[in-house]
Structure 1
Amino acid sequence: MKWSEISIHTTNEAIEPISNILHEAGASGVVIEDPAELTKEREDWFGEIYDLNPGDYPEEGVIIKAYLPVNSFISETIDSIKQEITDLIKYDIDIGKNIVTTTEVKEEDWATAWKKYYHPVKISETFTIVPTWEEYERVNSDELIIELDPGMAFGTGTHPTTVMCIQALERTVQKGSNVIDVGTGSGVLSIAAALLGAKKVLALDLDEVAIESAKQNIELNHVSDMIDVQQGNLLEGIETQSDIVVANILADVIIRFTDDAASIVKQGGYFITSGIIQPKKSEVKDAIISAGFSIEETLVMEDWVAFIARRS
């Protein structure tokens, strides 16, 4: 089978929305080439990325690559992706150079491309994310491992927005907690919550591909008994009270359902939000407070912000 590699030269700010656009267009995953990885201090990341080659990275900005199956509609699909990326300007998202190129690759080359960029990464004091094909030995008995196959869904669990969400879950999940993961994607946050001791996790996503990807990753990590994966639009139709609602999605989307989150989260429970770019920080914060939450902690990593809010 042949695949079309689509490459977008853009900015860090645009990584999450463009990744989502590619995912919705049918991409099985994304590769992010960020030159900051070459010189970044790893203290806050608890680990490191291995064997980075400077020749694989742009001199400025970032390059996002995704793979789409070549079919009779591929040209229309790529044109639609280009237009959706350009439209991000309407939401005050800096898309940088926005240079889009495509290359046809064979299936075996596509598989190799994933493995080239993806190695075990320790993202917190507790968690290490490991690709399914890598051998990895626990450093200590308290370490928790999340196995992911980046070919299943966009994102590998090591983006700053995901890392901050997982660190927030470490601070808030108690044994027996009920958790709702809004926009679960690959399911990594639901898996983390289950491994931390949550009794029940509801993983929600509107996209059917994400639902199937999450189910596969959840099964891979042997936590299917604790996690219920459902298709749904944010918190619409959800009435079950929860100790924690976590959402790693776009800032504008978070703002839309802060009131719904307030009606779902129990008194004293938590609303964890991430995927927030710095320019949207105040707007999201105000919406969360207006809904009846108090900000317990603000996490910052690179250009991204996450909030741990509590319903008082």
Structure 2
Amino acid sequence: MDWARITVTTAQEASEAVANLLFELNATGVELKDNEASTVNLIAHYPLDDRVGARMQKLRDFLTELPTWGIQPHPATIDLKHVKSEKWEEAWKSAFPPQRVGSRIVIAPTWIDVPHNETEILIQLNPGMAFGTGYHPTTRLSLELLERTVEPHHQVADIGTGSGILTIAAIKLGAKHVDAIEIDPTAIPIAAANFQANGVAPKVHLSQGDGLRGIENRYHLIIGNILTKTILPMIPFCVQRIYPEGIIIFSGILETEFAQVKSVLEANQFQCLEVVSEAEDKVTWVGIKAAQ
């Protein structure tokens, strides 16, 4: 079969929204490659047929519309190439083997039946999204910190839930309830389906919203695998929405941005308890666990 390979080069902050659209357009899979200067390549494959032109136009329109959501997609370039490969889909799937994160969490694609024991936390998702399936460093850092933090009585807020992986992990690690909040409407049905597939939906409230704005609930734990430009203005809201001695976990922070995030946390009476990092493709990401 001949394939159309579409590569979208865009800003980190737009990557999740663009990945969701690529899946809505029926991509077989989406691959993320970090670039320098806070940009990413999102690579999607489609059958080479008469729908390619319409998909390209929808992508152009979508990238033009993103700034109205407060998301800057620059450089927002789209490249189309013809690929000859009858076994591309199988090769793509082989790039996503089951993986272990931390000491107990196992993440596996939905097409693989993974043997596991009762002490392990199994999360099954369709991989390929830019953020949220465990194959990106920011998600792994979030999960590592989450595994060492969640307690059975915890009421949790998952800001920018995306695929819902952190919400799923929190519930399976024992959290009492999670409010999963996502600003991108295209991610809502993906998260809802993943909650159902992993059996956690009864303990989750999924909603579309802008972070903690307009939220009246209080939490023992606030988590967010989001970008620094979203984290910084949210920190003061965390002060109002967290219980005394509550904990916040943020990932999606570039190493060069860590000092700024730490400064804003300390200005709002939060102290860093743990800092973890992971490098990939010459980009180093940081995760922070902090408490008042």
TM range (shorter): 0.7 to 0.9
Give, as a single letter, the amino acid of the residue that structure 2 aligns with 1:260. Answer: F
The structural deviation recorded for 1:144 is 1.0
Separation of aligned partners in 1, 2:74 and 2:52: 31
TM-score relative to the length of structure 2: 0.80
Instruction: Give the gaps of 5 or more residues in structure 2.
Output: 67-71
What do the CA deviations read for 1:109-156 (whole angstroms, capped 9, x no partner)? 785465232220111101010111112111x43111101123788642
Corresponding residue number in structure 2 for 1:309: 290
Separation of aligned partners in 1, 2:223 and 2:260: 18
Correspondences of 1:132-147 after superposition (within 5 Å):
132-138=110-116, 140-147=117-124
CA 1:80/1:71 → structure 2, altered by over 3 Å: closer, same or farther?
A: same
Separation of aligned partners in 2, 1:195 and 1:270: 18
Separation of aligned partners in 2, 1:116 and 1:84: 34
Give, as a single letter, the amino acid of the residue that structure 2 aligns with 1:128. Answer: V
Contact 1:27 1:154 in 2 (8 A): no
What do the CA deviations read for 1:151-195 (whole angstroms, capped 9, x no partner)? 788642221111111111112110121000000000000000000
Corresponding residue number in structure 2 for 1:56: none
Contact 1:31 1:117 in 2 (8 A): no
Corresponding residue number in structure 2 for 1:156: 133
Corresponding residue number in structure 2 for 1:32: 32
Corresponding residue number in structure 2 for 1:44: none
The structure with the greater share of residues assigned to strand is 2
Give, as a single letter, the amino acid of the residue that structure 2 aligns with 1:141. Answer: E
* SS in structure 2 at match of 1:257: helix
* SS in structure 1 at match of 2:251: strand
Contact 1:166 1:189 in 2 (8 A): yes
Corresponding residue number in structure 2 for 1:129: 107
Question: Does 1:76 find its partner at 2:72?
Answer: no
Contact 1:114 1:151 in 2 (8 A): no
Corresponding residue number in structure 2 for 1:265: 242
What do the CA deviations read for 1:187-206 (whole angstroms, capped 9, x no partner)? 00000000010001000001
Corresponding residue number in structure 1 for 2:69: none
Deviates more, 1:291-300 or 1:18-27: 18-27
Give, as a single letter, the amino acid of the residue that structure 2 aligns with 1:101. Answer: D
Question: Does 1:208 find its partner at 2:175?
Answer: no
Give, as a single letter, the amino acid of the residue that structure 2 aligns with 1:214. Answer: A
Separation of aligned partners in 1, 2:191 and 2:197: 10
Corresponding residue number in structure 2 for 1:238: 215
| Alignment size in residue pairs | 272
Separation of aligned partners in 2, 1:222 and 1:81: 33
The sequence identity of aligned pairs, in percent, is 34
Separation of aligned partners in 1, 2:33 and 2:53: 29
The structural deviation recorded for 1:101 is 2.2
**Of 127, 152, 177, the match for 1:175:** 152
CA 1:176/1:207 → structure 2, altered by over 3 Å: closer, same or farther?
A: same
Displaced runs of 4 or more, over 6 A? 81-85
Corresponding residue number in structure 2 for 1:23: 19
Give, as a single letter, the amino acid of the residue that structure 1 aligns with 2:233. Answer: R
* SS in structure 2 at match of 1:230: strand
CA 1:104/1:207 → structure 2, altered by over 3 Å: closer, same or farther?
A: farther
Give, as a single letter, the amino acid of the residue that structure 2 aligns with 1:249. Answer: I
Correspondences of 1:273-288 after superposition (within 5 Å):
273-288=250-265
* SS in structure 2 at match of 1:308: strand
CA 1:154/1:200 → structure 2, altered by over 3 Å: closer, same or farther?
A: same
Contact 2:19 2:129 in 1 (8 A): no
CA 1:165/1:254 → structure 2, altered by over 3 Å: closer, same or farther?
A: same
Contact 1:299 1:306 in 2 (8 A): yes
Contact 1:21 1:81 in 2 (8 A): no
Separation of aligned partners in 2, 1:62 and 1:252: 16
Separation of aligned partners in 1, 2:83 and 2:23: 14
Separation of aligned partners in 1, 2:31 and 2:59: 17
Give, as a single letter, the amino acid of the residue that structure 1 aligns with 2:226. Answer: I
The structural deviation recorded for 1:18 is 5.0
Contact 1:24 1:207 in 2 (8 A): no
**Of 102, 124, 142, the match for 2:80:** 102
The structural deviation recorded for 1:74 is 3.2
**Of 265, 269, 277, the match for 1:300:** 277
TM-score relative to the length of structure 1: 0.75
What do the CA deviations read for 1:211-238 (whole angstroms, capped 9, x no partner)? 1111111111111111111111111111
Give, as a single letter, the amino acid of the residue that structure 2 aligns with 1:116. Answer: S
Contact 2:15 2:130 in 1 (8 A): no
